[in-house]
Structures are given as structure tokens and as C-alpha cells.
Amino acid sequence: PSCRRYVAGGRCKSTARLEGKVVIITGANTGIGKETARDLAQRGKVIIACRDIAKGEAAASEIRAETGNQQVIVKKLDLADTKSIREFAEKFLAEEKELHILINNAGVMLCPYSKTADGFEMHLGVNHLGHFLLTFLLLERLKQSAPARIVNVSSLAHHGGRIRFHDLHGEKSYNRGLAYCHSKLANVLFTRELARRLQGKLLYFAIGTKVTANALHPGSVYSELVRHSFVMTWLWKIFSFFLKTPCEGAQTSIYCAVAKELDSVTGQYFSDCQPAYVSPRGRDDETAKKLWSVSCELLGIQWD
């Protein structure tokens, strides 16, 4: 029915091949990450970076069987622990000489108040800081392999977010719905500032690195992301007809990763495989710059 077609939204029509190219997708053992991996495995080498190795292997063997591509590899990555992120990056850099596409897809949503191994509020820690650090550690390899792309999975929920610098870790007040929105706004701001830095302007010449960074809203997807909320799980079941399947939800991630027409597009935000509206807070360059320096401070890194 046409209603279902409307819900499905845009599809990625690109037939681009990724022979000889390497893709990392975080959290690709389930949901839209897994569907993104399934599609990209038909095009090239895919590394599934996830916390649960058993689930990751189950997803990978299913994808290998379906695509006939044996180059679907699972690596341990826990974004709630900077030690795990550093170990993942170190191993990857030792084993792989190239990296062409990094899809920062993993995320948590509606968690009861909790902290990461490093004491960050869970949504901010996993959804923003974990991916911020991962991107930092892999950026040189992306630059060496350019043209390369960084794809950050954000959400329409960024419209409800604000960066509360006075209470980043929700110690003064915490609302799990808002904490998710704040972290998704952080994804948009990170993408914006990263793209600006990667373009680089020297005198009047753009000395761009040929590494692009874009963010996206996958749509409202029927997935495990709401598992922490009984009410949302229940609502998701009732309204599943009006939600995208994980495969439909993965389309914009795939589009941002492979579409030819995005070769030199950077710093943008997409939904349904087309540019989408970003909230005024998501376009605030001052906040983006401040978030960048605060993130570096929290992670103990220097990223100039």
C-alpha cells in the first residue's frame, strides 16, 4: 500500500562497488548497522565493530553466507570504554593498511542513568565521545586512503537536544529521553566541526584532505534501540506498521557511504537519501567548537 511506501522513505540507488576498499561499521551486529553491513558486503570488505562478539559473529556468518563475501570480519569494540576503543584502533591499524569508509552507527537510547568506564554519562559517552575518539584514532588512515568518508548516524531527535556544558554528565538533572537528544545533537555538531577542519583553508586555497564527514537521520526504525524502555517497546510493537524496517532505515547510511554524487559533499545532514533540515542549535558553530575542545579535554587528547 502507498502508506507503507511512504513510511519506507528514500532508497539508495547507487550501484557503486567497493572492491579493494575497507569499511568499518560500529554496532553492526543488529538493526540498521547490520543491514548497512549486509548491503556494503555486496560491494567490498566490511569490518563489524561491536561489543558483543557472539552476536557479531552470528550476523557476520549470515551476511557471508548471503553475499558470498568472506571479507566480513568481526572485531571487538566497546564504545563505553576508551581502553577498548584504543585497543580496537591499535589492532586495526596494525592489520589494515587502508580505511575508506567509517560509519559511526552504534548507539544507546533511553538508558536509565549510568556511566561509562571513564565516568561519562552513557548516552554522551557512547553516542558522541566514543565515536569522537574512534574517529580521532583512525583519521590518519582515512586521510592516507583518501578519498574517504566518515558517516555519523544522528537522529531527528537532535532537534530536542542542547549541549548542557554546565551538566554534561547529567549529574544535576537527568532525563533519559533528553539525554538521547543531547547526544544526537552532539553528533550533528561534531560532524559540522570535523568537516570544517578537514576542508582546511590556507590563504585562499582549499587544501582539503579529500575526507568528507556527513551526518544523517535514519528514520523511525523498528529496532532493538528502544529495549531500555518498556513503554517505547510496547508502542513500537503497536505502531510497527508506521516504522521503517531496519533495511529501510539503513538506506541513508548506505547512501552517505557510497553515492557518487556525494564525493565532495561534506558537513551536511541527510534523511531519506536527501539533504534535511538541521535545527538552529545544530548549526551553531560556536557551540560546535566548544564541544570539540571540551570533548578533547574529557578524552585527554589533542586534536588540532
Catalytic residues: 180
Do the strands 205-206 and 201-202 form a parallel or antiparallel pair, or are they unpaired?
antiparallel
Q: Could you give the angle at the alpha carbon of 301 between the alpha carbons of 84 and 265, nearest 5°?
A: 90
- Contact present, 18 and 45 (Cβ < 8 Å): yes
CA distance 255 to 119: 35
3 state SS for 246-264: HHHHCHHHHHHHHCHHHCC
Return the closest-CA partner of residue 186 out of 135, 236, 149: 135
Angle subtended by helix axes 131-144 and 176-199, to nearest 10: 20
d(CA 135, CA 232): 31
C-alpha dihedral sign at 209, 103, 145, 93: positive
φ/ψ of residue 222, rounded to 5 = -80, 95
